[in-house]
Amino acid sequence: MKPRFTIRAILILMTLLAIFLGYHINWIHQRSAAIEDGWIAEVHNYWTPDDPHIAAPGLLGLFGQHGYGRLTVILSSDDDPLLSKAASLFPEASLNSWVGPVPPKNQRWPYRPWVN
């Protein structure tokens, strides 16, 4: 006996799948935009070696995303709401905050002139 699905059931299933995919793709876009805009910087130094085994939160690993171990959130003031936004975008990361100006987009933070 063949399984039978109504068009309504298929449309409901496709709608739920589209909502699921849209949510995760939007999350990926927001994470990428936060790092590209410069208010979140990934910390790379010899005190915190890169760990390639940090898993991306949720099902973002299925979309090719990787997890972050340590991030610095650059705030304009002590009561800036960006820290809580960063915590929701990067739940797997250990967050540090730094109050100061956002570095230029073409420079890595912290600025290290010996790294290209």
For residue 46, the model assigns a pLDDT of 53
Exposed/middle/buried for residue 35 (C-beta within 10 Å: 0-12, 13-18, 19+): middle
pLDDT for 12: 96
pLDDT for 116 equals 46
If the chain, 116 residues long, is cut into consecutive pieces of 10 residues, what is the mean pLDDT of each piece?
86 97 95 85 62 81 87 81 90 85 59 48
Per-residue confidence (pLDDT) for residue 69, from 0 to 100? 83
DSSP string, 75-90: ESSTT-THHHHHHHH-
So what's the pLDDT on residue 28? 95
